[in-house]
Amino acid sequence: MPERIRFHLDENVDPDIASALGRTGIDVTTSQQANLLAESDGCS
């Protein structure tokens, strides 16, 4: 069984992109949905 493509998009990505990806069947979460606004991504 093929796995679904999943993406997590941070607050710098336009919300319309998340919506468009979701309409194509891609599993998308955003930092805003996950209450992660302004959190570090762990990169220095």
Is 1's pLDDT higher than 70? Answer: no
Placement of tokens 């679904």 in the chain: 4
Query: What tokens does 2 get?
Result: 């093929």
User: What is the percentage of the chain residues whose pLDDT exceeds 90?
Assistant: 43
Q: Which helix (H) or strand (E) holds 6?
A: strand 6-9
Q: Which helix (H) or strand (E) holds 15?
A: helix 15-23
Alpha carbon distance 4, 26 (integer Å):
7
Is 29's pLDDT higher than 70? Answer: yes
Query: What tokens does 31 get?
Result: 């930092």
Confidence (pLDDT) at 4 = 78
Paired strand residues for 9:
30
